Amino acid sequence: MSDAIYARLRALLGTSGVDRDANGVARASPESSDALSLVCRLAHEESWKIRVEGRGTWLPPDAPADLVVSTRALEQILSVSPADLVATVQAGASLEALRRRLADYGMWLAIDPPGRPDRSIGSVIATATAGPLRHGYGPVRDHVLGCTVATGDGRLVNAGGRVVKNVAGYDLTKLQVGGFGGFGIIADVHLRLRALPRADVTLVARGARDVLTAAGRELMSAHLLPSALELLSPALAAEADWVLAARFVGTDAAVQADVRRLGSVGEQLWQPLPPDRTAAFWSVAARGSLGGPITLRLGVLGDGIDETIDLLSHDLDEGLVSAGAGLGMIRWTGDAPVEQLRALRRAAAAREIPMTLERAPWAVRRAIGHFGAYREGVGRIVGRLRDTFDPGQCLSVALEGVDHA
């Protein structure tokens, strides 16, 4: 079977666009959205299961499939318009390459997702994995103006557009951001940019967790406007204590004003990170999410952080925890058996806290799904949307897990 698929893909894409992954499964790396669409159409016609892969740095490459579709050859930065603050980028472009290219234009994409710097932009969008900058710049979806996706049966859908304000038609982009590839494969995206900030200062406070969460609340009520306000567990920060990091990004005037005021807020001792250590500090925190096989996020509001981290520590372990101390959202990385994850999701749901599995081996994804059980009525809608965008169920993805299929 695999040889036959390999041969069919080579006939379609030529020899350079097809190889085999580590398990010997045929892997197609189309170089254009049209080629991507052809591969999907073929898979649909033949009822082949597709495992979607970006640059291979986030989800383990273990979903069962007849072929792999990789976006690694879709890595071009198609356009950057500094005057309009918009860039169009193919899904397989790495964040690092994008960051460098944008910096050449004095531009910046204000997202700092967990994982490696060479993660693909498509992976970040498909999993909606926002980092600490979510506090000041919003979740991943706020940065995506539009996208082109190939559906599971090879149709190309252009959602949204290249302008920052646009309500023409339904907002199909929202379905793709955080859809974990269940509604198609992202081929390219239009991104909202910002001017590269003139000032970027991070200050940290160290101490007991509850003291730091209180400091975070105090900071929020003092009209300070940090771009990130992140609480890091000792293991994640590689320090002896918990760390609360406040990052101020913007014009010199605004950042200086905030930093000055921070000194007068509360009892907490804030220490500025030396400029040469700032990037390394945040990159260590981002990479920390790869420190265990499983990463999950819990949707929780700022004042529920302590209680929810207690819940995590009780049901799993303290692990590598990163939490938005202002607006909420907790990310946990570690290892745990499926039963414990299930129990945590139940306990979280009882507190009205959604738990999303961001990264895990297939056995775990298959068991509990990225999302697990939906609320009443939602499963029916999601199921029909899946049928619409992947009528042959070619995309090998476990949105709900077997418990709830």
Q: Which of residues 10-69 bind other proteins (CB under 8 A)?
A: none
Considering the complex, state which of residue 205 and residue 224 has its C-beta at the smaller distance from other proteins. 224
Cβ atoms 369, 376 nearer than 8 A: no
Nearest approach, Cβ of 185 to other proteins (angstroms)? 14
Q: Pick the closer one to other proteins by CB: 74 or 355.
A: 355
**Within 304-333, which residues bind other proteins (CB under 8 A)?**
327-329
**H/E run at residue 291:** none
* Ranges within 168-227 binding other proteins (CB under 8 A): 168-172, 174-175, 177-179, 182-183, 194-198, 223-225
Give me the 93-132 binding string for other proteins, x by CB under 8 A, dash otherwise: -------------x---------------------x----
280 binds other proteins (CB under 8 A): no
**Contact 332/321 with Cβ under 8 angstroms?**
yes
Q: CA 304, 332, 289: angle at the middle one, nearest 5?
A: 140
Q: Where are the beta strands (DSSP E) in 120-182?
A: 144-150, 156-160
Q: Tell me what percent of the chain is helix, strand and coil, each rounded to the nearest 5.
A: 35, 25, 40
Q: In 3D, which of 367, 342, 376, 327 has the Cα closest to residue 138? A: 327
**Smallest gap from residue 331 Cβ to other proteins (A):** 11
Q: Are 5 and 48 in contact (CB under 8 A)?
A: yes
**Is residue 139 at the binding interface for other proteins, with CB under 8 A as the rule?**
yes
Q: Is 81 in the site for other proteins (CB under 8 A)?
A: yes
235 binds other proteins (CB under 8 A): no
Q: What are the E-state strand segments in 260-361?
A: 271-272, 294-298, 320-324, 330-334, 355-359
Residue by residue, DSSP assigns 26-71 as: EEE--SSHHHHHHHHHHHHHHT--EEEESSSSSS-S-S--SEEEE-
Using CB under 8 A, which of the segments 23-31, 70-78, 112-120, 371-379 binds other proteins? 371-379
Is 75 a binding residue for other proteins by CB under 8 A? The answer is: no
Q: Judged by CB under 8 A, does residue 230 bind other proteins?
A: no
Q: Which is nearer to other proteins, 27 or 365 (CB)?
A: 365
